[in-house]
Chains A and B, each alone.
Chain A
């Protein structure tokens, strides 16, 4: 059973389009992180959100943590080919502070 479900699983869009990736759970997380992973490499941290309702922006990427700290979203504006990769959400479930639970992943491809 996956604690963190991401949708969509796959996304293929053209350069310039906008997209949103969702990360949902029935459990409460003390913090939630988003990573991007490129083929042959380890995941690279994009952002950490810790407060319910928190919104963080990283250039064209906007991250939001749900009010109840059970879900999160990643919105990309005007996607570019360099955004291509596997996007992973991950969280520390309340009570398991040292065990990071990863989402199912969203594979994004941005074409010219």
Chain B
């Protein structure tokens, strides 16, 4: 059974640009959540989607947004990139929402220059 797949794995963007990251969950999983990992802040929850609806949101500015499609695949978008957005962005999927075990992808490394 294929794991969580994230694309792209690595990308470099310039300040002010926007970026879209993609996540394909494990087959059958309907919940997708996104996390940002930085050396200083550790792993921070961004948002969680279940059945195309955002169920929960972390404390990030509105420049960070996401969506989920009917096939459970998800995308997150960061607009007007700042240097501090450089991080590993991790996607995780689970069967359902609410306290289930989540499985992480390998992440997308974003560098903003």
Contacts and interface: CB of A to CB of B under 8 A. Distances in A.
Interface of A: 2, 30-31, 33, 35, 40-45, 48, 88, 90, 92, 96-105
Interface of B: 4, 31, 33, 35, 42-45, 48, 50, 55-56, 58, 90, 92, 97-99, 101-107
Contacts, number: 59
Nearest to A33: B101
A2 B42 contact: yes
Most buried by A among B42, B44, B105: B42
18 contacts: A41-B106, A42-B4, A42-B90, A42-B104, A43-B43, A44-B104, A45-B101, A48-B101, A92-B99, A97-B97, A98-B48, A98-B55, A98-B56, A98-B98, A98-B99, A99-B45, A100-B92, A104-B42
B43 A102 contact: yes
A50 to B, nearest CB: 9
A2 B40 CA distance: 12
A97 B103 CA distance: 16
Contacts of B43: 43, 88, 90, 102, 105
A90 B45 CA distance: 11
Most buried by B among A30, A100, A105: A100
Contacts of A105: 42-43
Contacts of B99: 30-31, 92, 97-98
Given A48-B101, A97-B99, A40 B55 contact: no
A105 B45 CA distance: 15
Contact of B106 (A42, A90, A96, A97): A42
